[in-house]
Amino acid sequence: MTFKTMITAAVTATALTGAAFAESHAGTDNPMVGGAAMFPDMNIVENAVNSADHTTLVAAVKAAGLVDTLMSEGPFTVFAPTNAAFDRISDESLNALLQPAAKAQLTQILTCHVVAANAMSDAIAGMIADDGGTHPVQTVGGCTLQAKMDGSKITLTDENGREATVTIADVRQSNGVIHVIDRVLLPAQ
């Protein structure tokens, strides 16, 4: 069974449980992500497992052993790549990253998407403006991302020049915030 086959099965199961929560989500003012309600009183992992757009990220977080960390008190800001972002990585490379032998590398890649703070988009935009158009963002993985504005959207550039755009901002969590992005960011290579 390939990694993508396992992900498809997980998406089907998640869609069935996520639909039940959508109706009770209406009063939260939190954006829906991947067709699922995101509840501000649930933590990052509890919400992410319900997003059909983040099954690859959830599998990677599990493979890296980061579930307990992202369920802890935080606060965390997670720039969460979608499945489509992971699809830009070859199946061979992605499968290799998910092997136990690559756990340290996978952990570094994932933690380069995490900031040890609760940074809403208006705060990030303010820091970008205060810094003259570019704000360095230090991640828990040791990466420095460069945050900029592209019109009303925040973009993040990794140390290799790869740029991701925040497509859904300010998804509040009990232990921080998720900003959905359209590209996987990497540590310097």
**Which element (helix H / strand E) includes 6?**
helix 3-25
Give me the pLDDT at residue 7, please.
40
In eight-state DSSP terms, residue 145 is E
**pLDDT, tens only, 22-51:** 444 445 688 999 989 999 999 999 999 999
Question: Any bridge partners for residue 45, and if so which?
Answer: none
Per the prediction, the chain carries an average pLDDT of 87
* Mean pLDDT of all residues in 12-21: 40
Q: What percentage of the chain has pLDDT greater than the value 90?
A: 79
Give me the pLDDT at residue 28, please.
60
Q: What is the CA radius of gyration of the chain?
A: 16
**pLDDT, tens only, 84-133:** 999 999 999 999 998 999 999 999 999 999 999 999 999 999 999 999 99
Contact assessment for residue 13 and residue 28, using Cβ atoms and an 8 Å cutoff: no
Q: Would you say residue 6 has pLDDT above 90?
A: no
Looking at domain 3-181, its CATH architecture is Roll (2.30)
Could you give the angle at the alpha carbon of 96 between the alpha carbons of 93 and 98, nearest 5°?
A: 115
